[in-house]
Amino acid sequence: MDHLTALRVFREVVRQNSFAAAARKLGLSSPAVSKNVNELEAHLSTRLLNRTTRRLSLTEAGARYYAQVGQILDDLDETERSLNPEQQNPGGTLRVSAPMSLTLIRLSHAIPAFLERYPNLKLDLDLDDRRVDLVRDGYDMAIRGSDRLLDSTMVARRLMTLSHVLCAAPGYLARHGRPATPDDLRAHQCIQFSLSGHANEWTFRNGDEERRIPVDGRYKVSSSLAIRDALRAGFGLTLIPRAYVQDDLAHGTLATVLDDWQTPDTGVYAVYASRRHLDAKVRVFVDFLVEALREPTV
C-alpha cells in the first residue's frame, strides 16, 4: 500500500461522498479506489466508512481520522503549491472588485509596476464603490472598506485603516459659520455618501460623550470623489476619509471642523473565498496590496 496515496483517496471519497465520484476526480478506477480504502482500514485495524449500495458515511473513528488527516494533507498540498514555479510566476486573469475612490487615490499609480513584475498575469480590475458577491459575480477577490464585515464565509485580511474628518471649504464656513457642536450640523448643508452604512446618521465621540446626528441633506451621491468636488465648490460639509482630502487640507482648499470630536474609522480589507489552496495570482496581489498600503494610519 502506498500510504500517502491511500490517504488522498480516502480524503477524496469523503469529500465526494462517493467511491465512483472520487475515482473520476482522481483519474483512478473504482476498484483501485476501493482497494486503497480497504488497505488503509486494514492498516489501521479500524473501519473508517460505513457503505451500503445506497449510502456512504463516516464511522465515529473515521470522522476523527478524516479531521486530522485532512488537515495534514491540506497543509502538505499548500506547501507543495508554494514551491511550484507557477506560484512564483503566476499567470491567468485575476478579476478584482475594488472601490473606485480608494483605488484612484491610493493604488492605481502602483498597478503598472505590479503587472511588470508578473508578465504572465492579466488584471481585470472593476472599480465600483458598491459591494459585489464574489462567488456569484465571478470575482477572485475584492477590496472592501467597512467598519464591519458581515460575510463570515470569506477570508478578510486587513490592509489599512481610514480615519475620517468633518470638513468644508473656507468659503462655505465663512457664509454659514463653523459648527461648534455636532448638534449644530442640523442647520448645515451635509453631503451624504449614499453607499455608507451610516449615510443618514453620523456618530461623534468626545471622551465618554457620544452624539448621533441624523443627516438629510440636499445632495447624496455614491462617489467620494464627487463629494470632494462638492466640498471644493463650497456646497456643504461632510465626513470623508482624510486620505481623500489630505492635499486639500494641506493647501487650505478645505478646512476641518469639530476637531475635538472623533468619528468611526473604516477598515480596508482584501476579501477572498478561501485561505486553503489560495491561487498564486490572488496571493501575489494581496501581498502587493499590503505593500502598497503600508503607510501610517490616516
Show pLDDT as tens, one digit a residue, over the chain (298 residues): 788 999 999 988 988 888 888 899 889 998 999 999 999 999 999 999 988 777 888 999 988 998 888 778 877 776 666 666 555 677 788 999 999 999 999 999 999 999 999 998 899 999 987 877 787 788 889 998 875 555 556 788 889 899 999 999 999 999 999 999 999 999 999 999 998 888 899 999 999 999 999 998 899 999 999 999 999 999 999 999 999 999 999 999 999 999 999 998 888 999 987 655 567 888 899 999 998 887 654 4
* pLDDT digits 0-9 by tens, 171-203: 999 999 999 999 999 999 999 999 888 889 999
For the chain, give the secondary structure using H, E and C.
Answer: CCHHHHHHHHHHHHHHCCHHHHHHHHCCCHHHHHHHHHHHHHHHCCCCEEECCCCEEECHHHHHHHHHHHHHHHHHHHHHHHHCHHHHCCCEEEEEEECHHHHHHHHHHHHHHHHHHCCCEEEEEEECCCCCCHHHHCCCEEEEEECCCCCCCCEEEEEEEECEEEEECHHHHHHHCCCCCHHHHHHCCECEECCCCCCCEEEEEECCEEEEEECCCCCEECCHHHHHHHHHCCCCEEEEEHHHHHHHHHHCCCEECCCCCECCCEEEEEEECCCCCCCHHHHHHHHHHHHHCCCCCC
Q: Could you tell me if residue 33 is inside a domain? A: yes
Q: Could you tell me if residue 9 is inside a domain? A: yes
Q: Could you tell me if residue 298 is inside a domain? A: no
Structural domain of 271: 90-161+267-292
Q: Clarify whether residues 11 and 79 are in a common domain.
A: yes
pTM of the entire structure?
Answer: 0.66
Q: Clarify whether residues 64 and 191 are in a common domain.
A: no
